[in-house]
Amino acid sequence: MELPIVISETALKTFESICAQIHERLGSKALKDFKKNTIKTLDLISHSPFIYKETEFDPNIRQGLIKKISSVFYEIKPDRIEVLFFWANRQEPMFFS
């Protein structure tokens, strides 16, 4: 089962923000590696959408790990995978009430 990946506007903005942080802190090579790992993770999700665990705050949303540095949050729809946002794992943890 391969589903197309749809990137939300929020996901694009958060991805660009993380890329800027990586480039500033770690340089061009680290940024290139991060982008390559992101593509691999999204490809894996496209082929095996249920590979990553459900989030605590919503069982329909899953969190995929992109190395230790970042995560991608996505929702599995009947006809696609919707990438909701990217998260720098060094940020404050998310709390939902």
* Helix or strand run (H / E) with residue 75: strand 70-76
**For the chain, how many structural domains are there in total?**
1
The residues pairing with 54 across neighbouring beta strands, listed in sequence order, are 62
Say what the pLDDT of residue 95 is: 47
Report if residue 46 sits inside a domain: yes
Where in the sequence is the domain holding 71, given as residue range(s)? 5-88
Report if residue 78 sits inside a domain: yes
Task: Give whole-number Cα distances, 31 to 23, 47, 48, in Å.
Answer: 6, 25, 25
Report if residue 96 sits inside a domain: no
Whether the per-residue pLDDT at 94 is higher than 60: the answer is: no
Report if residue 77 sits inside a domain: yes
Q: What share of the chain in percent tops pLDDT 90?
A: 81
Report if residue 97 sits inside a domain: no
- Residue predicted with more confidence, 68 or 28: 28
d(CA 50, CA 29): 31
CATH number at residue 63: 3.30.2310.20
Going by pLDDT thresholds of 50, 70 and 90, the confidence category of residue 92 is low
* Helix or strand run (H / E) with residue 29: helix 28-47
Say what the pLDDT of residue 68 is: 86
Indicate the pTM of the whole model: 0.88
Report if residue 17 sits inside a domain: yes
Say what the pLDDT of residue 96 is: 43
